[in-house]
């Protein structure tokens, strides 16, 4: 108890300290608004629609065409986005072309900018720690990508901690180099982390703050100039964050921010020819970009993420709660969401499934613990359910019905958290495998079980999958863990009794494995891998040996 009270006191002091800095910076315009903000999260409505602008060459701009978004909870038009079309990309092309291949800074050029970004990160972290600011972004996320307050706040918290991590000298430490002795006096080889220069970042709707901020700041730390495109459905969150970063000292010319459809963004990439593009989103678009951009991409694409429950049955209530969170938090709209659960036969005889069912059924639209699905319609999810239930031995465990008493527009999906059981033998049949492992970006999961001697069949099912993002091996049996981990590849794998599939905190790598194009996020290793390349400089000063003569040709 004393420890909890002490932690609260420390947080309170940190918040007070941040508030002092915030107030002394003269950033409050009134008790009702934040000066970096151009909207009030709770006030956005059909009668008071918000506007989202573009940023290019250091200036905020509108557009000849405005795309009107509807509120995902009631269908009311509530946000106008200045979307750039194919005729309006030239300023963005020109802006990227002004950035040389050696970047805005590197270890030999403008090194003071490493310190600048350490200061920007420190100030932005302080601001996001303020309850008024964190609540603003949490509420804004909820307005465009409806999820519970706790889930939305989690994004803000992770972003704030990430910025804390890269405050002060931590940015320049990302560019740490090394030296290797040469063959003779005066010769040394030095390895440096080098920026790409002009780059592009494309991020999805489901994490409107966390993914774009972490990737954007990583790109900037290493000396690149990015153009950033966030899914227009949620881009208002990042537009407001860009304004906050400007208040914290981000040079306005360092980042361009564009709203457009996919076709226009593809045209921009082809004409601007960025040296590297980071894409987070669907596998289909990722593969197209890899071809169009001749492989100059880093990808964090879709994941049909699996969880295996080992032979040791313990803490059933806890494991059931984690399964519910993994599968259904954010209405399943996480690239790390639990898509399939493999239960050892020992778990099949426990109360696990009934407990998961009870937890899933307590989710409700009122507190957004279940809500609109922004990329899959209700009809599409119910049709997928229907096809799965035609497989021999399959059965609906729970859910499988539309949400009731709501005003979610028909362009979005709205179903109850759903689980379908399919026998392992049926999953592995070629006629069924692709259907069963189709990713449904909603509150939808497959559950199956396996006998002790069927673990090789489970591993075979995992080997056939094409996306290897997250996974969980729930067991405290070290031999079992060793066997499964040694024969799988997912880039972010949790192991142990408390293992989960979801969760991308700032303290560990998050990203796929098994693909040389795979991108990471969150850690120094991720930033260096994605946003810099290796450059070797070999110094050879001499002296030339006394009496040296020109040797024969070789």
Residue-averaged pLDDT of the chain = 94
Higher pLDDT, 285 or 7: 285
What is the per-residue pLDDT across 286-315, written as a single tens digit (0 to 9) for each? Answer: 999 999 999 999 999 877 999 999 999 999
Catalytic residue among 99, 323, 330, 335: 335
Closest to 507 in 3D by CA, of 128, 7, 14, 165: 165
What is the per-residue pLDDT across 496-524, written as a single tens digit (0 to 9) for each? Answer: 999 999 988 899 999 999 999 999 999 99
Structure tokens at 508: 């560990």
What is the per-residue pLDDT across 86-124, written as a single tens digit (0 to 9) for each? Answer: 999 999 999 999 999 999 999 999 999 999 999 999 999
For the domain spanning 306-495, the CATH number is 3.40.309.10
What is the per-residue pLDDT across 5-39, written as a single tens digit (0 to 9) for each? Answer: 444 443 444 444 444 444 444 443 443 489 899 99
- How is the chain split into domains, by residue range? 50-301+522-534, 306-495
pLDDT band at 64 (very low <50, low <70, confident <90, very high): confident
What is the per-residue pLDDT across 189-209, written as a single tens digit (0 to 9) for each? Answer: 999 999 999 999 999 999 999
DSSP code for 366: G
pLDDT at 463 over 50: yes
> Is residue 114 within 8 Å of 210, Cβ to Cβ?
no
Architecture of the domain whose range is 50-301+522-534: 3-Layer(aba) Sandwich (3.40)
The two most distant CA atoms of the chain are separated, in Å, by 93
Res 489: pLDDT: 97
> Is residue 118 within 8 Å of 17, Cβ to Cβ?
no
- Taking each helix axis from N to C terminus, what angle separates 149-165 and 112-129, rounded to the nearest 10 degrees? 150
> Is residue 272 within 8 Å of 97, Cβ to Cβ?
yes
Specify the 3-state DSSP secondary structure of 56: strand
What is the per-residue pLDDT across 114-169, written as a single tens digit (0 to 9) for each? Answer: 999 999 999 999 999 999 999 999 999 999 999 999 999 999 999 999 999 999 99
Rounded Cα gap, residues 508 and 476, in angstroms? 21
Res 28: pLDDT: 39
300 is catalytic: yes
pLDDT band at 57 (very low <50, low <70, confident <90, very high): very high
Strand boundaries in 318-443, DSSP class E: 338-344, 395-398, 418-421
Res 6: pLDDT: 40
What is the per-residue pLDDT across 317-344, written as a single tens digit (0 to 9) for each? Answer: 999 999 999 999 999 999 999 999 999 9
Which H, E and C letters describe 296-343, residue by residue? CEEEECCCCEEEEECCCCCCHHHHHHHHHHHHHHHHHCCCCCEEEEEE
What is the per-residue pLDDT across 209-252, written as a single tens digit (0 to 9) for each? Answer: 999 999 999 999 999 999 999 999 999 999 999 999 999 999 99
Closest to 519 in 3D by CA, of 509, 530, 527: 530
DSSP code for 545: P
Structure tokens at 549: 């003569």
330 is catalytic: no
pLDDT at 345 over 90: yes
100 to 45, 90, 196, 224, 349: CA distances (angstroms): 43, 18, 9, 9, 63
50-301+522-534 and 306-495 have identical folds: no
Instruction: Give the percent of the chain with pLDDT over 70.
Output: 94
Structure tokens at 151: 């889930």
Helices then strands (H, E): number in the chain?
Answer: 19, 20
Catalytic residue among 300, 323, 330, 439: 300
pLDDT at 40 over 50: yes
Q: What is the model's pTM?
A: 0.93
- Taking each helix axis from N to C terminus, what angle separates 235-247 and 210-221, rounded to the nearest 10 degrees? 40
């Amino acid at each position: 108890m004393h420890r909890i009270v002490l932690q609260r006191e420390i947080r309170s002091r940190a918040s007070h300290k941040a508030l002092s800095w915030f107030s002394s910076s003269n950033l409050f315009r009134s008790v009702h608004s934040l000066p970096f903000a151009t909207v009030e999260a709770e006030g956005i409505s059909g009668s008071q629609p918000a506007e989202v602008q573009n940023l290019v060459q250091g200036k905020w701009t509108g557009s000849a065409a405005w795309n009107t978004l509807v509120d995902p909870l009631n269908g009311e038009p509530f946000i106008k986005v200045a979307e750039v079309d194919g005729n309006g990309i030239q300023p963005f092309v020109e802006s990227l072309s002004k950035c040389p291949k050696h970047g805005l800074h590197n270890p030999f050029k403008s090194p003071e900018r490493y310190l600048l970004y350490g200061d920007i990160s420190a100030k932005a972290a302080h601001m996001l720690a303020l309850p008024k600011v964190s609540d603003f972004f949490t509420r804004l996320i909820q307005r465009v990508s409806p999820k519970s307050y706790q889930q939305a706040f989690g994004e803000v918290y992770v972003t704030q901690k990430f910025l804390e991590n890269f405050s002060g000298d931590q940015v320049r430490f990302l560019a740490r180099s090394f030296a290797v002795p040469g063959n003779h006096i005066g010769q040394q080889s030095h390895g440096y982390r080098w920026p790409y220069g002009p780059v592009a970042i494309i991020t999805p709707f489901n994490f409107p703050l966390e993914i774009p901020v972490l990737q954007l700041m990583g790109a900037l730390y290493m000396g690149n100039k990015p153009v950033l495109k966030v899914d227009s459905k949620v881009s208002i969150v990042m537009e407001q964050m860009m304004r906050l970063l400007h208040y914290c000292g981000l040079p306005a010319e360092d980042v361009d921010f564009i709203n457009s459809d996919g076709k226009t963004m593809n045209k921009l990439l082809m004409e601007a020819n960025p040296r590297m593009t980071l894409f987070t989103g669907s596998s289909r678009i990722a593969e197209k970009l890899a071809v169009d951009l001749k492989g100059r991409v880093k990808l964090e694409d879709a994941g049909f993420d699996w969880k295996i429950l080992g032979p040791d049955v313990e803490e059933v209530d806890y494991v059931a709660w984690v399964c519910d969170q993994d599968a259904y938090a954010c209405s399943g709209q996480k690239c790390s969401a639990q898509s399939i659960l493999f239960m050892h036969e020992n778990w099949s005889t426990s109360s696990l499934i009934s407990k998961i069912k009870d937890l899933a059924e307590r989710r409700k639209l009122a507190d957004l613990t279940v809500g609109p699905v922004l990329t899959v319609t209700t009809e599409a999810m119910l049709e997928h359910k229907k096809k799965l239930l035609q497989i021999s031995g399959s059965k609906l465990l729970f859910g499988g019905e539309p949400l009731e008493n709501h005003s979610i527009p028909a362009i979005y999906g709205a179903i109850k958290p759903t689980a379908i059981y399919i026998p392992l033998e049926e999953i592995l049949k070629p006629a069924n495998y692709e259907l069963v492992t189709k990713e449904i970006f909603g509150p939808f999961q497959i559950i199956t079980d396996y006998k002790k001697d069927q673990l090789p069949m489970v591993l075979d099912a995992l080997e056939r999958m094409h996306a290897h993002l997250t996974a969980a091996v729930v067991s405290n049996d070290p031999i079992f863990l060793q066997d499964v981990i040694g024969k799988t590849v997912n880039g972010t794998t949790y192991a142990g009794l408390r293992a989960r599939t979801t969760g991308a905190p700032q303290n560990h790598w998050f990203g796929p494995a098994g693909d040389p194009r795979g991108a990471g996020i969150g850690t120094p290793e991720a930033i260096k891998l994605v946003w810099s390349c290796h450059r070797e400089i070999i110094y050879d000063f001499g002296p030339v040996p006394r009496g040296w003569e020109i040797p024969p040709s070789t």
